[in-house]
Amino acid sequence: MCGIAGLFHTGTIKPVDPARVERMCDVLAHRGPDGSGIWTAPGVGLGHRRLAIIDLEGSPQPMQSADERVVISFNGEIYNYRELRRELEQQGAQFRTDGDTEVILAAWQKWGEDCAAHLHGMFAFAIYDRADRTLFLARDRLGVKPLFYAELSDGSLAFASELKGLLAHPLLRREADPLAIEDYMTWGYVPDHRSILRGVRKLPAGHSLLLKHDTPVPRPRQYWDVSFERRHKAKPRDLEAELLHHLQQAVESRMVSDVPLGAFLSGGVDSSTVVAFMSGAGKGKVRTCSIGFDVASADETSHADKVAQLFDTDHASRIVSADQFDAIDTVAGMFDEPFADASALPTWRVCQLARESVTVALSGDGADEAFAGYRRQVFHAHEERLRGLIPRAIRSKVLGPLGEAFPKLDWAPRPLRAKSTLQSLAGSGADGYARALSVVPPELRLGLYSEGLRKQIGGYRGETPLTEMMAQAPARSGLDAAQYADLKFWLPGDILTKVDRTSMAVSLEAREPLLDHRLVEFAAALPEGLRVKRSQGKWLLKKSMERYLPDDILYRPKQGFVTPIAQWFRGPLADKARGISKSAMLARTDWFDNTRIAELAEAHIAGRSDHSRLLWQLLMLDRSLARLGIT
């Protein structure tokens, strides 16, 4: 795991200052504290920071091929590199190192742009080919590893693993994109189709970009997508056996490491599944760690303890409390862009705990997206069936007005929130799912914006990219489309961003075996009834794990890694909630109605409504803008 950065002149070829590339890499030192390197040639410069995981003494980067034609700077892990190495050796390739980096170089020389499709793993890399005078950028299929890039005024393109790498370049403009503010207020993060800064882009997951000197920057090329259009026809028992094979293969392939390795363990189905297969791999006692909260309703440590005892792991746990709130500025600095998933704080804490004993940790991320494990997906499947029974005219003309009139019950469980359900049923399935997934509904967002920001945004709404994605998804049902959007929109923008930044902040490599692309493709072809059955999400996954895990782990209500910010903002952090409306940074932007923010804060503190996620969003926006120095 590493950090990469570099420069490439797409206009007139000019010398690249190595010191400039070095500065871009230095701010990524947390991603790679074990080594660094810079390589430059006319019109191109590559930089690298290394976290040594495999082939500890070899594989320095940037790495040149034996014939010095090709140079690479690579962040990630290729789990099938040994198989690829054997295949390429049979075709004449020769290798000087024992790691995966040189295998990517050989794959490029063999397959060119198609090399990324041969790689199984998580990656973002840049390859410069001297003969073709091209720079090739690629990002892994699901977007586990990030890659930012921007065209600069001197005719160069800058790229880096994190936005802070681009910010180290003096020519990067620091002007906020108002559409990104709308996106952020909708989702709580800035999705991959946008950046908080105008002109900065993120290479989409499953895409590559081929750059040439004296040639305009083209659109990224997609080399992988997940399809929900086909269905497995095998019997459930056979599919269960196939699923277990995929799980074992995914976990064991990610246990290859030359440094200590462990796992995050929340006590939920997904992380417990990973630990079960790690324990069965016969490689000694598994190290596990978990984080709990000082609010009982959000604490899962007892479940994690039970799984740790079941598999006799070397387990450690800690409690996160509101008095650790002072770390918010540190957390904001990890993400650069505003990021309001409140579970980032405990995720960082569990990464810190893991780093005390290991350098690599396996997580359970990805199963909810792939196997329909979120409650919102289960509700969406039910709502889609209702939409099919109720004529559209009745839904829009009757249910819509009823939803508007019904009181908002923030405190109630989702099935009892009639307002949300009625509003969801009144529109299309995509509209309803976007409403369920978003943090702040459009009517509340618009009431918070100043007149100036509303004019800048125009008719754009943050939900639109997601609803368009669902409408165009390779899917056979509403549930398919919802899962597709979760895998392509929510997962890289929120979940994987959170895990990448918080783990890399402490120089820890996090691996996601449940996002093995072959496992994801298998899950996408499962019949709906094997994903959601009798209101139970992840049905086949849970059924297949009954031989390994007890029912009170498999079938207890989903809790999630949820920080208790609602309670904190009504208690020890009430003054922080009140202070948001007085923020000098937010006032300077003139984006919001501060009087309205103050009203919402008081309503939350008094317990009349739950605005905790909105307040957290505004707080994180304030801290991020201050650090970015946005104009």
Contact of 23 with 17, CB cutoff 8 Å: no
The share of the chain scoring above pLDDT 90, in percent, equals: 79
Position 599 confidence tier, pLDDT thresholds 50, 70, 90 = very high
Position 557 confidence tier, pLDDT thresholds 50, 70, 90 = confident
Position 57 confidence tier, pLDDT thresholds 50, 70, 90 = confident
Distance from C-alpha of 452 to C-alpha of 566, rounded to nearest angstrom: 30
Amino acid in the structure at residue 152? L
Tell me the per-residue pLDDT of 244-291, one tens digit each, with 9 for 90 and over: 999 999 999 999 999 999 999 999 999 999 999 999 998 889 999 998
Position 72 confidence tier, pLDDT thresholds 50, 70, 90 = very high
Tell me the per-residue pLDDT of 183-215, one tens digit each, with 9 for 90 and over: 999 999 999 999 999 999 999 999 999 999 989
Kindly state the average pLDDT of the residues 543-557: 94
- 295-309, 388-402, 527-541: segment of lowest average pLDDT: 388-402
pLDDT for the residue 282: 85
Tell me the per-residue pLDDT of 148-185, one tens digit each, with 9 for 90 and over: 999 999 999 999 999 999 999 999 999 999 999 999 99
Examine the pLDDT at 411 and tell me if it is beyond 50: no
Tokens of 45: 């410069």
Distance from C-alpha of 600 to C-alpha of 205, rounded to nearest angstrom: 37
Distance from C-alpha of 456 to C-alpha of 453, rounded to nearest angstrom: 5
Contact of 441 with 343, CB cutoff 8 Å: no
Tally DSSP H helices, then E strands, for the chain: 30, 17
Query: Pairing relation of β-strands 134-139 and 2-9?
Result: unpaired
pTM here? 0.93
pLDDT for the residue 55: 79
Kindly state the average pLDDT of the residues 27-54: 95
By annotation, the residues acting in catalysis are 2
Position 12 confidence tier, pLDDT thresholds 50, 70, 90 = confident
Position 563 confidence tier, pLDDT thresholds 50, 70, 90 = confident
Kindly state the average pLDDT of the residues 542-557: 94
Tell me the per-residue pLDDT of 416-433, one tens digit each, with 9 for 90 and over: 455 566 556 666 789 999
The secondary structure of 175-214 as a DSSP string is -B-HHHHHHHHHHSS--TT--SBTTEEEPPTTEEEEEETT
pLDDT for the residue 416: 47
Kindly state the average pLDDT of the residues 396-410: 53
Examine the pLDDT at 560 and tell me if it is beyond 50: yes
Tokens of 434: 């976007």
Kindly state the average pLDDT of the residues 361-368: 97
Tokens of 71: 């140079």
Alpha-helix residue ranges (DSSP H) falling in 409-560: 418-426, 429-437, 442-448, 451-457, 464-471, 478-485, 496-504, 517-524, 528-531, 539-544, 551-554
Position 506 confidence tier, pLDDT thresholds 50, 70, 90 = very high
Q: Mean pLDDT, the chain, as a whole number? A: 91
Burial class (CB in 10 A: 0-12, 13-18, 19+), 58: middle
Tell me the per-residue pLDDT of 73-106, one tens digit each, with 9 for 90 and over: 999 999 999 999 999 999 999 999 999 999 999 9
Q: How big is the chain, counted in residues?
A: 631
Tell me the per-residue pLDDT of 436-481, one tens digit each, with 9 for 90 and over: 899 999 999 999 999 999 999 999 999 999 999 999 999 999 999 9
Query: Pairing relation of β-strands 148-151 and 200-202?
Result: antiparallel
Position 551 confidence tier, pLDDT thresholds 50, 70, 90 = very high
Given the structure tokens 């900065």, which residue do they identify? 200
